Amino acid sequence: MATRWQKFAYRQLPDVSDARQLPVSATAAHQITPRRQRFAFCASTPVDWFRESRLLTAVLNAYSLLVPDNERYYIRILQQHLHLIDDPELRGSITAFIRQEAQHGIGHEAHWALLRTQGVDVDSFTRVANRVLYKIIEPIIPLPVHLSIVAAIEHINASFGQVFLSRNLMADAAPAIGALFDWHFAEEIEHKAVAFDVLKACHRSYFIRLAGALLAFPMFATCISVGSLWLLARDRRPMSWRKELRTAWRFWISERVLPDLFGQLLLHLKPGFHPWDDDNSNLARAILEPIDAALPAEIGISTTSEIVDNAQGGSRAA
């Protein structure tokens, strides 16, 4: 049976004149290619799947739990601005962006299915987060600021991609989950300028961009922190806090993951900033070119007909 995400994703896709294939858009030298990825998560995957650390795993699990509803939010906001965009190249980029984000939601919901089999309390956190973020907060924020928030969160995601891919950090994760995050981070780099370019085309004020960033950055940090603590509080296994905090300090501080992330985030606040000022597309290509070369294997570029099949009741393997 089709998931709620699959039905949502298909309803939100802009019309495409050639329904046989997803559009591939490009802005200058930066091509955005929607891809269909499926991951074979193994039942024997360790519960503490990243560096054998419960705390670090909880942080990354919290990130994964936020992704699908975030992607729906991005799609809603960009759809509401699509009628303001006359540039066919940018409209094509929006379409490709939406299709990539739809696949990210599907991939992370497959990860959720694995977490549920491991006894992780997925649904209580996502239910509360969804209500607070999208039922309570979203309606009171003006639409231009929402677009600015999306651009800021996309910068956060691309910053994670920059830091994690440049260090090959997911080599320390369970293989299938590491592949999920690497693919997601690579595509975040690939489409990192789309929401920003829509914001620039529709609302050129620097103060709108600043307002969105000042809302998005602390909200993102709060959601990740609360989600991590939520998951840890529901994990009844004994835990050495001293060991976990030592591991977390080594990862975030000694290896400079957190300082470098923070430095990347600050770039978004510069008045003359554009995401492609730092062309790190080589990091994305290193992950995505082998995926593209695998076509027409199970891992590959999606077609509109496949999404239609899923939305109408096709099954997907987790």
**Domain parsing of the chain, residue ranges:** 4-39+56-310
Buried b (16+ CB within 10 A) or exposed e, 67-100: bbbbbbbbbebbeebeeebeeeebbbbbbbbbbb
Query: How far apart (Å, rounded) are the C-alpha atoms in residues 173 and 298?
Result: 23
pLDDT of residue 50: 98
Radius of gyration of the chain (CA): 19
pLDDT of residue 296: 54
- The structure's pTM equals 0.86
pLDDT of residue 38: 87
User: Tens of pLDDT along 8-30?
Assistant: 443 444 433 332 233 344 344 58
Residue ranges in the chain whose pLDDT is less than 50: 1-28, 297-318
pLDDT of residue 28: 43
User: Tens of pLDDT along 142-200?
Assistant: 999 999 999 999 999 999 999 999 999 999 999 999 999 999 999 999 999 999 999 99
Measured over the CA atoms of residue 166, residue 102, residue 195 and residue 219, the dihedral's sign is negative
Query: How far apart (Å, rounded) are the C-alpha atoms in residues 50 and 23?
Result: 35
Ramachandran region, residue 299 (left: φ > 0; alpha: ψ -120 to 50; beta: rest): beta
Residue 45, both tokens:
């995957």
